[in-house]
């Protein structure tokens, strides 16, 4: 059965289901089976959308000349460096690799890329952030990320979480 067209049909709680229509005379195949339902699909999709949006904001703020797919692993490696720096305990490549569950050689390669871009520096065996992360307009970026997180929490409110209004 080949797909002629698809349309979204609203269901309860703003969930959507895609209906597939069969062309006349098509014999059908395993590829045309309806997709399985996903529990809490709209909430999970909204959360996934929030994560992607935050990553895009992060990428456009710090790496505007690159595509998201080209820098996502490097951004991922920068996160534990940032967290350790703010905690006052710079991390080694081994600690970063363990935290991210990636081979140490891969982590070192990504750390070297971040050093070349000027976002982190190496002090002996430990890695720290540089002043380059302190951008002008950072408050606006933080507000945007807070709004994205707030929207995600609203979508998860069916589980009993309440939305806290952040005043940045």
- 94-136 tens-digit pLDDT: 999 999 999 999 999 999 999 999 999 999 999 999 999 887 7
- 32-59 tens-digit pLDDT: 888 888 888 888 888 888 888 888 888 8
Mean pLDDT taken over the chain: 79
Of 20 and 111, more confident: 111
CA distance 143 to 60: 15
> What confidence score (pLDDT) does residue 61 get?
86
The pairs formed by 132-140 with CB atoms below 8 angstroms and a separation of 24 or more are: 133/62, 133/82, 135/61, 135/62, 139/168
3-state secondary structure of 21: strand
| Residue 14 pLDDT exceeds 50 | no
Name 56's Cβ contacts closer than 8 Å, sequence gap at least 6.
Answer: 68
> What confidence score (pLDDT) does residue 29 get?
61
CA distance 20 to 1: 10
Of 66 and 23, more confident: 66
Sign of the CA dihedral with 65 first, then 68, 69, and 73 last: positive
Quick one: tokens of 100?
A: 């991210």
> What confidence score (pLDDT) does residue 27 get?
54
Q: How far is C-alpha 46 from the geometric centre of its chain's CA atoms? A: 12
* CATH level 2 (architecture), domain 43-133: Orthogonal Bundle (1.10)
121: which strand partners? Answer: 128
């Amino acid at each position: 059965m080949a797909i002629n067209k698809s349309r979204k049909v609203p269901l309860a709680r703003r969930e959507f289901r895609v209906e597939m229509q069969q062309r006349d005379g098509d014999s059908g195949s395993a590829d045309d089976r309806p997709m399985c339902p996903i529990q809490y699909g709209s909430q999970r999709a909204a959360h996934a959308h929030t994560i992607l949006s935050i990553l895009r904001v992060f990428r456009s703020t710090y790496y505007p000349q690159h595509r998201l797919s080209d820098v996502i692993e490097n951004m991922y490696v920068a996160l534990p460096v940032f967290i350790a720096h703010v905690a006052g305990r710079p991390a080694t490549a081994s600690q970063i690799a363990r935290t991210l569950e990636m081979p140490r050689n891969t982590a070192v390669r990504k750390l070297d890329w971040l050093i070349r871009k000027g976002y982190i520096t190496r002090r002996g065996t430990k890695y720290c952030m540089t002043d380059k992360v302190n951008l002008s307009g950072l408050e606006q970026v933080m507000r945007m990320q807070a709004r994205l997180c707030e929207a995600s929490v609203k979508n998860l409110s069916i589980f009993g979480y309440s939305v806290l209004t952040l005043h940045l």
